[in-house]
Homo-oligomer: A and B are copies of this chain.
Amino acid sequence: MKISLVVIGDEILLGQVTDTNSGEIARTVSVANWTVSRVFTVGDDAEEIKYAINAALEASDVVITTGGLGPTKDDITKSVLLDIFGGKLIQNEDVLRNVEDVCRRRHIVLNDLTRTQALVPSTARIIQNKVGTAPVMWFEKKCGDKEKVLVTMPGVPFETSQMMREEVFPQLLSRFGSDVTVAHRYLLVYGIIESKIAEMLDEWEKALPTNLHLAYLPVPGYVKLRLDGIDKDGASINALLDEKKAQIESILGDAVFADENKTIAEILIDRLKAKGYTMATAESCTGGNIAHSVTMVAGASEVYYGSVVSYANDVKIRVLGVDENVINTLGAVSEPVAIQMAKGVAKVINTDCSVATSGIAGPGGGTPEKPVGTVCIAVHTPQKDLVGTYFLPGNRGRVIDRATTTALIELIRLL
């Protein structure tokens, strides 16, 4: 089944907001082995919206639009929908009640602009938005001899995410559901770049059966491999995937550090829970991003106790107990300082394990010996300590991201 997306919003074309809804929708429908074949992104302009919706309807069975329905720009998209699907605007009492409820829950006074969200095309079937004010609208239209479906979603990411998973995807499934089994296996690879992995797996990949496919998903700091299989018979496809996955593992060796489709932080938390360990972080150049990555995982508090962001050297010395002489002689960006930070924070926060970073995130602060991107990372467990100096090039955000990922992966590998 072909799905096209139409993303509507000047704010996206202007680069003020990044479209994350398309990815969320794609990940949701991938469970049914459906893929998004095209995304059209246009501004809040009737002609542009009409062009994109018509091109999308022509190219696919299902069109999902996001955005273009806020209280301040409502009428443009709705007028295009009336134009394409016919009907007229009518007030929907259920939507009005929902808008009133949402405003009450958010302690917001309902005004006339927000009230217009209850005006919907008479040709649409309405799906109540449980988490926001813009209703989801479901249209059907015969194009040639094919019945096409168009669903409008709000632009707000958490509304689209929840409505897609809980309402729209289940309804699409029951309308277009297929009976094949699709299964995946994941391999997370550290320390080998994408093109080198491709070279190592070249022979193996050429011998893959046609119902299997290997996808390379580069992520800053590591490579995620996804092996997809599709078959009428669920048992046999799963057995085949397990066999092929084991082959990759033997080719790539211990560069494969995990086989779950989870974030690095989720994998780390699982490993800590399995071992009964707790963890703390001491961050200089990553400035809290490791703590943030770990605490984004629900339930992190079971194993993650806290962090000291020791941005100033004085905090490294006073709070973490790093030796002032070592900072003065070797500099804050040095392996001995990183290892003292790791041991110090495990003591201060009172945990079994810890990671510590000290580096130069840039753009300033680099020297010929320690250029921007130089990061010392230390990892501490009850059994072993490990420290290394990494060169992670890029701009400030990229250095911080890669240092974060590297620190978490090094701890996963040590556990």
In the assembled complex, the Cα of A346 lies from the Cα of B366 at a distance in Å of 29
Q: How far is the CA of A26 from the CA of B161 in the complex (A)?
A: 25
Q: A296 is contacted by which of B14, B162, B400 (Cβ under 8 Å)?
A: B400
Known contacts A308-B308, A311-B306: A72-B195 contact under CB 8 Å: yes
Contact B304 A307 (CB under 8 A): no
Residue A107 interfacial (CB < 8 Å): yes
Q: Does A242 have its Cβ within 8 Å of any Cβ on chain B?
A: no
The complex places the Cα of A18 from the Cα of B157 at a distance, in Å, of 13
Cβ-defined partner of A312 (8 Å) among B109, B290, B306, B361 = B306
1/0 contact string of A149-167 vs chain B (CB within 8 Å): 0000000001001100000
Asked if A90 CB lies within 8 Å of chain B CBs, one says no
Across-interface contacts of A333 in B (CB, < 8 A)? none
Select one of B215, B295, B314 contacting A287, CB under 8 A.
B295
Any B CB within 8 A of the CB of A319 = yes
Q: Flag whether A182 is at the interface (Cβ < 8 A).
A: no
Specify the chain B residue showing the minimal Cβ separation from A309: B307
Q: Could you tell me the distance in whole angstroms from the C-beta of A50 to the nearest C-beta in chain B?
A: 13
CA distance A362 to B109 in the complex (A): 26
Interface centre among A12, A38, A300, A318 (most CB of B within 10 A): A38
The CA-CA distance from A283 to B400 in the complex, in Å, is: 19
Q: A199-B111, A288-B307 are in contact. Are A363 and B298 (CB under 8 A)?
A: yes
Q: Is A26 touching B40 in the complex (CB atoms < 8 A)?
A: no
Closest to A7 in B: B39
A113 contact set on B, CB distance < 8 A: 195, 198-199
A61 interface residue (CB < 8 Å to B):
no
Task: Give chain B nearest CB distance to A278 CB in angstroms.
Answer: 8
Kindly identify which residue among B12, B108, B292 contacts A23, using a CB–CB cutoff of 8 Å. B12
For residue A208, CB closer than 8 A to chain B, the reply is no
A9-20 near B? 1/0 per residue, CB < 8 Å: 011111111111
In the complex, are the beta carbons of B349 and A298 less than 8 A apart? no
By the criterion CB–CB under 8 Å, are A310 and B314 in contact? no
**CA of A202 to CA of B392, assembled, Å:** 50
Q: Which residues of B are found within 8 Å of A290, using beta-carbon distances?
A: 288
Quick check: A35 and B13 within 8 Å, CB to CB? yes
A292 & B287 in contact (Cβ 8 Å cutoff): yes
A277 contact set on B, CB distance < 8 A:
none
In the assembled complex, the Cα of A162 lies from the Cα of B396 at a distance in Å of 13
Q: A113-B198, A291-B291, A306-B308 are in contact. Are A39 and B20 (CB under 8 A)?
A: no
- With most chain B CB atoms within 10 A of its CB, the pick from A48, A109, A199 is A199
**Given A24-B15, A198-B72, A217-B16, does the pair A362, B298 have CB atoms closer than 8 Å?**
yes
User: For residue A106, which residue of chain B has the nearest CB?
Assistant: B393
With an 8 A cutoff between CB atoms, is A258 at the interface? no
A20-B286 Cα distance, complex, nearest whole Å: 22
A221 to chain B, nearest CB (A): 13
Within A66-90, the residues touching B (CB, 8 Å) are 70-72
Name the B residues within 8 Å of A195 (CB-CB). Answer: 70-72, 111, 113-114
16 other A-B residue contacts (CB within 8 Å) besides A281-B309, A291-B311, A308-B308: A11-B215, A11-B218, A13-B26, A14-B27, A14-B30, A14-B36, A14-B215, A15-B22, A15-B23, A17-B217, A38-B40, A41-B41, A112-B199, A114-B195, A158-B398, A306-B315
- 5 pairs of A and B residues whose beta carbons are closest in the complex: A287-B295, A288-B291, A15-B26, A15-B23, A39-B41
